Structure 1
Amino acid sequence: MAYYWVNLGVSYKEVRDFKFLWAPSHTYTASGEKTVKAGWGHVPSIKKNDVIICHENKRIIYVAQALADAYPAPRPESRTYDEWKKEGNKVDVNLIVLERPVSTDEFKHHSIERFNDKCEPKLFTVDGNAAQNYMVAIPNSVASIVLSSIDCTHLGQLKQPSKFSSGTKRRKKRKAIKGGVRSARSNARIGQGAFRDEVLDIWNNTCPVTKVALPELLIASHIVSWVLSDDDEKVDGYNGFPFVPNVDKLFDKGLISFADDGSLLISEHLSVATLNALGIREDTKIAGLTEEHIFYLAKHRNTYGF
């Protein structure tokens, strides 16, 4: 599954009413040379189940998910005529309309500082506004930051195909989840319910970094963030750590991670002085990692560039 950002201008009503995205396949320069604008190039690459974050006027207003691969299609009749832009590519989508649009102010500074260069083309300009490109391919790190700012009741509508193949090592089948699977996944988003119980049980009610052993002070933090996890991973207790709040925040923002041997990894965007001020030593090493934890940690490191 890949993630994209689309800038909707006057077409936001068309997207809402007809549930598709469309962009020209090419245009022509003043000299008659055929060219493809940077913001159009990703549209034909969209695959079924890819997620597209829809932006309009400094707000995230929709989250779209491709119902099928993108395909060639003529310009929609609802579009203003332009003789050079008849041919294009279309994506039919399932559209989640946000009841409360999310301001880009909630996440743009974090995204610009650390991940803007990893977006293709760049997502934000130097002054913090969304760049004027129709579509941007965004890394998982940016997708996680943006989607985590959206109410989980909306994101529960997204389909997350299982990433595990028959040859992938999995845990033993867990017990039936009380209250139903949907409720468990929603509760897992906020570190509650069966997910929290299992995380704390695996770690004996103890934060592996600080050794704090008061459950009421611990947050069940996903290793692979809830928004990037498939349905099984969302509720898998091995996809979590019981962290005190300061460690949870650093880990959730990708400012720290852990090597397979448990050694603490520190982002270049986090100073050792700040780490120490939060009560964490730079030579911290956690014990008790299983193969399942290591599987998820590899994804966390990859997402945040460790």
Structure 2
Amino acid sequence: MIRITGDISLTEGFFDLGAGVGTSIKSGKDPFSKIQKRKGDIWIGNFEGVTSDTSELKGYKAEMFRIAPKFLKNIFHFNYYCVANNHIMQHGSSAYRETLKNIKSFGSDYFGDIDKKSILFEYKSSKISITSFSLRKEEHFKPPLYWHSPEYVDIEKEYQKIKDADFKIVYLHWGNEYMNYPYPDQEKFAHWLIDLGFDLIIGLHPHVLQGYEVYKGKYIYYSIGNFVFNMKNSITCYGAIVNVERDEKEFRVSHSYIKIENDYFPIEVSAEEIPYKVQFDYLNTLYGRDVLHETYYMQDISRIRHNRLISRFYFIKNIFKLRFDVLLFLLKDFIVRRKIFRK
């Protein structure tokens, strides 16, 4: 079975620096240890972070969303990692290239790079392609070295390179964080990709689940949420794995749910084990809305603010778990950010 997951951060961000996923991995834990890995399965995920020994940033900012490759050598790695996302360039071009090299050294391969937009592989005597790009704003390095905001004609050109594959997947970074339904323009774009000839669309970046639809017999998963991430908003702790299987006659698409437990690592669960409002049965009632632009983005801003409040509460609750030097840095940085915001 081909198993495609959501966002994977093997690093730490701002509020969990020194006390999150990366620290757990550095202690010798495997973030994928609770996931059943069967012989013959092919695993694909979004590598949302950097693995390098270098960074263009200084101080503690050089530690955020970055982990040294020596800590990732002994974990179970996916077959393929996507690198088209808004954190992969966070530490500069050298660290990005180092990340690509390190992914290969782990026995994996990557796609979504500006020079390697798609990857082809065989599964049960069929040729599978997966293509990736990001539609999110690049804030760290310009121009980015991954495939970013392509024009329609560029996507058409890439499609021509993989059109002979038996099953063609698009795996894209798009949408708005914490929103549980897509913006109407996303639906139009996803339909265009299917009309072009792709067989399956899988969305990432919102960090929460969104609904899926079947358009002209093809599945479109607007967001499958997180897979490994230290976020404390409860809705970010549930995600999905999209499964692709080949039988004698056709490809079959299905999904299963995961829950990120308190140790930041995922475990597969049934629909009955997760809240109704993060199940597809509910989320599938939300897409297709004729919502005004202003209404959608006001909802998005409200959800972002709510998530920040949860993150700050988590930070205060766990303040004594942090090293004093890290705590001092975070407090100083927070004060600076507040001053800039008030201006």
Q: TM-score, normalised by structure 1?
A: 0.27
TM-score w.r.t. the length of structure 2 is: 0.24
Q: Which one has a bigger Cα radius of gyration? A: 1
**Greater RCO (CA < 8 Å, at least 6 residues apart):** 2
